[in-house]
Amino acid sequence: MQNLATTATLWTAAVLCRFLFLRLLVIPSFSSLLWIHSPAVQVAVKPAVQDYGFKMSVRVLLLAGALVFVPWLIVRLIRTAGYSLRGKVALITGGSRGLGLVLARHICGQGGNVALIARDPDELARAKADLAASGAVLTIQCDLLVAAQIDSAVRQIIDRFGKIDILINCAGIIEVGPLEHMTREDFECAMRLHFWAPYELVSRIVPEMRRWGGGRIVNISSIGGKVAVPHLAPYSVSKFALTAFSDAIRAELAGDNIHVTTVAPGMMRTGSHVNAKFKGKHDIEFAWFSASAGAPLISMNADRAARKILAACRRGQPSLTLTFAARGAILGNALFPNLTGYMMKLVNRFLPGAADEAGNESLAGSQLHRLIPEWVTRLLDRATVRNNEGRSN
């Protein structure tokens, strides 16, 4: 069936290319030549030739674009269809809530099996109940900051399912606040979870994937791992490390049929703002962060993000950036790094300054008073309930 679909797609593309070639070049050229040699219109030949040249230039550009776009689309469709999630085993860190749970729903919905790793047993129990009717689900309580627990979790998954086809490093923490309130421990904790935990998992799972003939690795980084953001220093530092690690191993693992995808999401409406940690002027920091994360024009629905991530995973796509705002920020930083630097300085002027010693305490968003109207975060609050974010300890 897959070969039949591929053949049909190629045949349709060939017919489309032939139609575009005839419609844009051959038929207009032939018609114009007949018109030019007609005695009745000799006076209009020169203006007509000029107009014809302009039209031909436009047609050539359209044809060139079509000839590039159509093969790209064909390859994209074939690669996506060529890797089904049915029967695959996916290990998802941080899979008990947020984006990890949404990814698990989609994988189970397509006939796959999931193993979820998280610290909170209550969250894991609720996630398992959520997914119970969808597919085979294994939940493992594991602290990703402890290497021995990672090794034990991987062994349990292989013992249960016999393999791990897909590794999705999705677990994360985010701490928001001025640099004055961030400590070495904040940076170390972020690095251990965002970089060292994926490193440990990749180190243990890649040898198994080689024996099984290949696999997929998806590292969920962030726009903060491409463009450093003020008041998110530990988060950005650790996400930059994950992005570099993911990009570095991609080429080396490709020879073993292991495809690595680096995902850089912008703001997503997962509902995780209530579990983010805040320092400094807690309530104000929570207010600007929540408002940004819930803004419809610059943030993305978690389900849509999950579909795009899994499609990129199936294709073996090297990189995926989510939201137009994130793409614009990355492109702007690449083309105009100095301008971006000045803009970040300007943004920082509008963010709250340092607080007194009470600002050194790290508080979850769910513990803080809301300074902005409820309608501003309505989409986020709905996602909090839907994605198991609301009752975390």
- Please indicate, yes or no, if residue 391 is contained in any of the structural domains: no
User: What pLDDT is recorded for position 47?
Assistant: 57
388: alpha, beta or left? (left if phi > 0; alpha if psi -120 to 50): left
How far, in Å, CA of 116 to CA of 131, rounded?
11
Same domain for 361 and 322?
yes
Task: Report the alpha-carbon distance of residue 272 to residue 212 in Å, rounded.
Answer: 35
CA distance 334 to 340: 9
Is 235 tagged catalytic? yes
Q: Which residue has the tokens 């030019």?
A: 36
Pick the last residue of a domain from 62, 81, 100.
81
- Based on the domain organization, do 315 and 201 belong to the same domain? yes
Clarify whether residues 209 and 308 are in a common domain.
Answer: yes
Record the pTM: 0.82
Write down the pLDDT at residue 132: 84
Whether residue 30 is found in the same domain as residue 138: no
Per-residue confidence (pLDDT) for residue 65, from 0 to 100: 66
Instruction: Judge if 248 and 366 occupy the same domain.
Output: yes
Residue 135, pLDDT score: 74
Given a cut of 50, is residue 393 above it in pLDDT? Answer: no
Q: Tell whether the model's pLDDT for residue 334 goes beyond 90.
A: yes
Question: Would you say residue 235 lies in a domain?
Answer: yes
Average pLDDT, the chain: 86
At residue 117, the 3 state secondary structure works out as strand
Q: Is residue 393 part of a domain?
A: no
Domain boundary among 20, 54, 81: 81
Of 1-10, 69-78, 152-161, highest mean pLDDT? 152-161
Determine which of 36-50, 132-146, 311-325 has the lowest per-residue pLDDT on average.
Answer: 36-50
Spatial CB neighbours of 305, under 8 Å, sequence gap ≥ 6: 99, 102, 265, 268, 322
The parent domain of residue 10 ranges over: 2-81
Number of domain units in the chain: 2
Give me the percent of the chain exceeding a pLDDT of 90: 73
Q: Do 343 and 248 fall into the same domain? A: yes
Could you tell me the pLDDT band of residue 75, with boundaries at 50, 70 and 90? low
- Looking at 52, 83, 199, 235, which residue is catalytic? 235
Q: What is the pLDDT of residue 392?
A: 47
pLDDT of residue 134: 75
Residue 6, domain member (yes or no) = yes
Asked if 60 and 28 touch (Cβ cutoff 8 Å), the reply is: no
Of the candidate ranges 20-34, 58-72, 270-284, 369-383, the one whose mean pLDDT is the lowest: 20-34
Q: Choose one of 81, 105, 122: the last residue of a domain.
A: 81
| Distance from C-alpha of 240 to C-alpha of 364, rounded to nearest angstrom | 24
| Residue-level pLDDT at 1 | 43
Q: Quickly list DSSP for 65-100.
A: HHHHHHHHHHHHHHHHHTS--TT-EEEEETTTSHHH
- Domain assignment of residue 244, yes or no: yes
Residue with tokens 């007609």: 38
pLDDT band at 296; cut points 50, 70, 90? confident
The confidence score (pLDDT) of residue 207 equals: 97
Q: How confident is the model at residue 180 (pLDDT cuts 50, 70, 90)?
A: very high
Residues 6+ apart with CB under 8 A from 93: 100, 117, 118, 144, 168, 169, 170, 171, 197, 198, 201
